């Protein structure tokens, strides 16, 4: 646009006069540039006509206010926010270190996040936090309302009502330094955050760095009248306008649009077995936003584990559960992730609270001794929460998830006394199901990282279902690889699996019942409860 009104007078007009006509992810037909040009010219004409009428100006400035704040901001760095972006206006806390500023609801919450992200300070040291302000605005600011001076923040707070002005005044008395004010409002696409910082406390007039004209001049720092503190803090001195980068859980897990995030954040999962299957299931659940994960495994990581494990060479010789928990905790400091170096049997015998306090227990141990012990615990404790068992068959040509609910079969109902499932997906006539290392009796199940992904997804999907909705009846899901892959692995479908799956050549998921059958474990649990 030539001879336009300038930046931040009309929405959708950038500083160089370019019109914003299409969404960021829009695509155009490169093979028909003429039609593209005609379409854009038509859009330009309609936009200019609407802008001249003036009907969309305020509406679009408010609905897309983060875009226009971006054009107006003057800070070189961003503020990172852990805040719950809802009202009311309130005092919050911030931590600063160089160019990094992070804002959280409370000092305790902020210190916990920082310790998880950067590690705990040495010795008795703590992360030093300072007070800051959060103002919830009834509607987004127009460019003409963007704060230029400290006193503009008071005007914004007065318009916001809900005690916002009192928050700023109290903060000025408490800090007597520059004040960070984070502001939130609801735009068309959800909640947005912006921030401004006062500069009245930055006047330095001596070589040694002492403040020549401090905000508290003429008063003892702790006895400065609130009205005077507010007047000096929110003065004619300019403010610095910041962009805010949200790092709260709702934004990390779905940009505020995934309704499951709130539910998952309140859930606790215990994952027993942090090998190739369990470690990847744990990583999936953490990325989905499960608020509290307990990772349990007694074993250390070895070199042949690396090709299909979430951990790498830096963790060789270290406990899988502890290392995985530490790695995921650093990556997701807003969640709680704890490692436990114990076996499933020890967990049942001495750490029952870990199981009983969980909303879901996931077992991926590959050990029938471990999982039968977990099944007995589940039965004798009334099956109050779902237990999920997952495993893969050789070469990952098939994978299983069994979600045990309040009714239906227990794990033992579908598995024999030596850990062999009644329904196996594939059979190997040439004995290739297990391979052996050059040592006595050391067999392993062969498969690679790529094909493992399908099985992990199957189990993680079942875990998500068990956390979000009730599991009244036990159920079984089987992922089958494509018929070509099964044949290349030297296997074929068992007769029972072929009957359940049908004659399908491509990969698929078969969903089945997991029925009760008065197995030995169910009988034992019935006798146990009767005796109790």
The answer to whether 277 and 452 have CB atoms below 8 angstroms apart is: yes
The predicted model gives 162-186 an average pLDDT of 90
The encoded tokens of residue 267 equal 């859930």
CATH architecture of the domain 260-531 equals 3-Layer(aba) Sandwich (3.40)
Tell me whether residue 367 is exposed, middle or buried, using C-beta atoms within 10 angstroms of its C-beta: 0 to 12, 13 to 18, 19 or more.
middle
Q: How many residues does the chain have?
A: 532
pLDDT at 176 over 70: no
Q: At what angle do helices 320-331 and 276-288 cross, to 10 degrees?
A: 20
Residue with tokens 């594939």: 426
- pLDDT (0 to 100) of residue 474: 98
Nearest to 149 by CA among 244, 243, 241: 241
For residue 375, what is the enclosing H or E element? helix 368-380
Instruction: Specify the DSSP class assigned to residue 421.
Output: B
Report phi then psi at 123, rounded to 5: 60, -135
* Three-class DSSP category at 471: coil
pLDDT at 229 over 80: no
- pLDDT (0 to 100) of residue 480: 97
The predicted model gives 490-497 an average pLDDT of 93
Nearest 5°: the CA angle 506, 510, 516 is 160
pLDDT at 213 over 90: no
The predicted model gives 381-394 an average pLDDT of 96
**415 alpha-carbon distance from chain centroid:** 35
Return all residues near 130 (Cβ < 8 A) that are at least 6 apart: 93, 94, 95, 96, 175, 177
pLDDT at 205 over 50: no
The predicted model gives 320-330 an average pLDDT of 98
- pLDDT (0 to 100) of residue 218: 57
Instruction: Count CB atoms within 10 A of the CB of residue 35.
Output: 11
pTM of the entire predicted model: 0.89
- pLDDT (0 to 100) of residue 206: 45
Task: Provide the residue ranges of all domains of the chain, joining segments of one domain with +.
Answer: 1-55, 68-247, 260-531
For residue 103, what is the enclosing H or E element? strand 100-104
d(CA 490, CA 427): 9
For residue 79, what is the enclosing H or E element? strand 79-81
- pLDDT (0 to 100) of residue 447: 80
For residue 512, the cross-strand partners are 476
The predicted model gives 248-254 an average pLDDT of 96
- pLDDT (0 to 100) of residue 428: 85
pLDDT tens for residues 471-492? 999 999 999 999 999 999 889 9
pLDDT tens for residues 400-412? 999 999 999 999 9
pLDDT tier for residue 442 given thresholds of 50, 70 and 90: low
Nearest to 101 by CA among 125, 126, 122, 83: 83
pLDDT tens for residues 39-95? 999 999 999 999 999 999 999 999 999 999 999 999 999 999 999 999 999 999 999
> For the chain, what percent of residues have pLDDT higher than 90?
78
The answer to whether 333 and 113 have CB atoms below 8 angstroms apart is: yes
- The alpha carbon dihedral of 403, 409, 414, 415 has a sign of positive
Instruction: Specify the DSSP class assigned to residue 302.
Output: -
* SS3 per-residue string spanning 377-401: HHHHCCCCCCEEEEEECHHHCEEEE
């Amino acid at each position: 646009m030539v001879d336009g009104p300038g930046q931040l007078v009309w929405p959708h007009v950038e500083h160089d006069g370019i019109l914003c006509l299409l969404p960021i992810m829009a695509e155009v037909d490169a093979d028909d540039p003429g039609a593209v040009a005609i379409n854009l010219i038509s859009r330009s004409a309609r936009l200019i006509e609407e802008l001249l009428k003036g009907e969309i100006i305020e509406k679009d400035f408010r609905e897309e206010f983060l875009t226009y704040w971006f054009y107006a901001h003057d800070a070189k760095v961003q503020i990172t926010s852990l805040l719950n972006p809802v009202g009311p206006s309130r005092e919050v806390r911030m931590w600063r270190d160089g160019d990094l500023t992070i804002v959280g609801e409370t000092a305790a919450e902020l210190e916990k996040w920082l310790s998880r992200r950067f590690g705990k300070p040495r010795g008795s040291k703590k992360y030093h936090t300072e007070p800051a302000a959060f103002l919830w605005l009834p509607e987004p600011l127009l460019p003409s309302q963007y704060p230029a001076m400290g006193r503009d923040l008071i005007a914004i707070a007065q318009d916001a009502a809900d005690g916002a002005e009192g928050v700023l005044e109290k903060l000025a008395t408490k800090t007597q330094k520059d004040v960070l004010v984070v502001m939130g409002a609801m735009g068309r696409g959800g909640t947005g955050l912006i921030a401004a910082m006062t500069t009245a406390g930055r006047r330095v007039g001596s070589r040694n760095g002492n403040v020549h004209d401090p905000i508290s001049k003429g008063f003892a720092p702790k006895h400065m009248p609130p009205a005077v503190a507010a007047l000096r803090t929110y003065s004619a001195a300019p403010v610095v306008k910041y962009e805010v980068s949200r790092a709260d859980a709702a934004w990390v897990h779905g940009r505020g649009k995934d309704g499951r995030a709130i539910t998952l954040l309140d859930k606790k999962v215990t994952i027993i077995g942090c090998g190739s299957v369990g470690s990847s299931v744990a990583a999936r659940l953490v990325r989905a936003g499960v608020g509290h994960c307990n990772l349990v495994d007694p074993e250390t990581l070895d070199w042949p584990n690396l090709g299909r494990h979430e951990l790498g060479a830096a963790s060789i010789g270290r406990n899988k559960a502890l290392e995985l928990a530490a790695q995921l905790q650093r990556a997701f400091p807003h969640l709680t992730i704890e490692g436990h170096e114990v076996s499933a049997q020890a967990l049942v015998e001495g750490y029952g609270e870990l199981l009983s306090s969980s909303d879901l227990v996931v077992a991926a141990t590959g050990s029938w001794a471990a999982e039968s012990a977990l099944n007995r615990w589940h039965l004798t404790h009334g099956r109050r929460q779902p237990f999920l068992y997952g495993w893969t068959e050789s070469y990952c040509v098939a994978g299983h998830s069994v979600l045990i609910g309040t009714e239906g079969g227990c794990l033992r109902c579908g598995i024999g006394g030596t850990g062999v499932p009644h329904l196996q997906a594939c059979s190997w006539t040439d004995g290739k199901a297990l391979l052996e290392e050059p040592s006595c009796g050391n067999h392993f199940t062969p498969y690679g990282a790529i094909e493992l992904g399908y099985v992990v997804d199957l189990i993680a999907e079942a875990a998500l279902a068990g956390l979000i909705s009730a599991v009244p009846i036990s159920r079984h899901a089987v992922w089958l690889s494509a018929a070509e892959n099964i044949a290349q692995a030297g296997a074929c479908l068992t007769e029972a699996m072929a009957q359940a799956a049908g004659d399908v050549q491509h990969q698929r998921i078969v969903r089945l019942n997991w029925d009760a059958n008065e197995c030995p474990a169910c009988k034992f649990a019935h006798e146990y409860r009767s005796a109790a």
